[in-house]
């Protein structure tokens, strides 16, 4: 509508100016050309001004980091400092008589222990500590809380030269080792096979259970080993938590 009105004003002003200039030496069509050129310049300036305003409005918009993100980064920074102090305080050195080589890959929740024993290759996968479970009991009318110590799950694989192996599922408590399962693994067993995995370990004859505990003990799966693993895996969990916090903080800051 604004463009239409401007054109009407231009056409309505041409005729009087042309009539007044008719008697002058300049021809009629020259007067018309001059007036239209001037109006075109005004029109172009008006259109440029109208189209330039919204462009400036959008181009000057800037983005800033939300306040909530800044607050989260501050809390993460404080938590990282606490985790760093704890990790520094809990540094443990591997004992000289520790029977296994430790393979610890940052970013993974488990570690791998390896050793050779005679013609056997022994591998132990160790997971991070599992929290103890609290139970409430009544004693002489009073409530008492009995807590179970934290444990670390182990998978012990003992392999002979022919590829046949024994796989033990073990739970290590402080000063105690519990065998949960025992399976014979074929060297090239198919995943589709429904192999017999034996009875529940606790259903075995008590003497047989003790013999298997001794079998693992002489191969290095004993309380002196697992007690150190409790401390080592506790420290690893702290280090992995620290790395996790730093990765999150780096992501939010970008």
pLDDT at 237: 92
In angstroms, the Cα distances linking 108 to 42, 184, 231, 238, 247 are: 72, 27, 17, 12, 14
Mean pLDDT of all residues belonging to the chain: 77
Question: What is d(CA 207, CA 200) in angstroms, rounded to the nearest whole number?
Answer: 15
DSSP H helical ranges for the chain: 2-20, 28-59, 67-89, 206-217, 223-253
Which structure tokens are listed for 176?
A: 């105690």
Domain boundaries, the chain: 2-59, 74-253
Of residues 70 and 52, more confidently modeled? 70
Whether residue 176 has pLDDT greater than 70: yes
Whether residue 109 has pLDDT greater than 80: yes
pLDDT tens readout for residues 186-241: 887 656 566 788 899 999 999 999 999 999 999 999 999 999 999 999 999 999 99
- Report which of 128, 115, 188, 118 is spatially closest to residue 154, judged by C-alpha positions: 128
Which CATH code of 3.10.280.10, 3.40.50.2300, 3.40.800.20, 3.40.50.970 fits the domain covering 74-253? 3.10.280.10
Which structure tokens are listed for 12?
A: 């309505």
Whole-model pTM: value is 0.66
Whether residue 30 has pLDDT greater than 90: no
pLDDT tens readout for residues 53-69: 444 444 444 456 677 78
In angstroms, the Cα distances linking 10 to 17, 29, 173 are: 11, 15, 97
Whether residue 89 has pLDDT greater than 90: no
pLDDT at 139: 47
Whether residue 148 has pLDDT greater than 60: no
Of 116-120, 218-222, 250-254, the one with minimum mean pLDDT is 250-254
For 109-113, what is the mean pLDDT?
97
Of residues 125 and 132, more confidently modeled? 125
196-220 in b/e form (b: 16+ CB < 10 A) is eeeeebeebeeeeeeeeeeebeebb
Annotate 86-139 with three-state secondary structure. HHHHCCCCCCCCCCCEEECCCCCCCEEEEEEECCEEEEEEECCCECCCEEEEEE
Of 53-67, 144-158, 169-183, 190-204, the one with minimum mean pLDDT is 53-67
């Amino acid at each position: 509508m604004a463009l239409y009105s401007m054109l009407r004003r231009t056409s309505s002003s041409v005729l009087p100016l042309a009539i007044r200039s008719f008697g002058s030496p300049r021809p009629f069509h020259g007067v018309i050309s001059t007036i239209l050129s001037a109006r075109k310049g005004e029109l172009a300036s008006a259109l440029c001004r109208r189209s330039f305003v919204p462009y400036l409005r959008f181009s000057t918009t800037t983005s800033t980091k939300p306040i909530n993100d800044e607050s989260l980064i501050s809390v993460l920074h404080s938590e990282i400092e606490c985790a760093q102090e704890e990790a520094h305080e809990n540094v443990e050195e591997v004992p000289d008589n520790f029977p296994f080589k430790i393979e610890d890959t940052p970013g993974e929740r488990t570690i791998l222990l390896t050793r050779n024993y005679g013609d056997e290759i022994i591998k132990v996968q160790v997971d991070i500590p599992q929290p103890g479970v609290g139970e409430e009991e009544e004693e002489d009318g009073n409530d008492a809380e009995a807590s179970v110590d934290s444990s670390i799950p182990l998978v012990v694989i003992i392999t002979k030269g022919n590829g046949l192996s024994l796989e033990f599922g073990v739970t290590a408590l402080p000063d105690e080792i519990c065998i949960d399962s025992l399976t014979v693994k074929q060297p090239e067993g198919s995943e589709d096979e429904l192999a017999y995995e034996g009875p529940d370990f606790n259903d075995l004859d008590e003497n047989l259970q003790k013999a298997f505990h001794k079998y693992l003990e002489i191969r290095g799966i004993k309380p002196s080993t697992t007690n150190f693993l409790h401390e080592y895996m506790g420290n690893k969990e702290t280090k992995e938590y620290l790395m996790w916090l730093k990765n999150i903080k780096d992501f939010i800051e970008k």
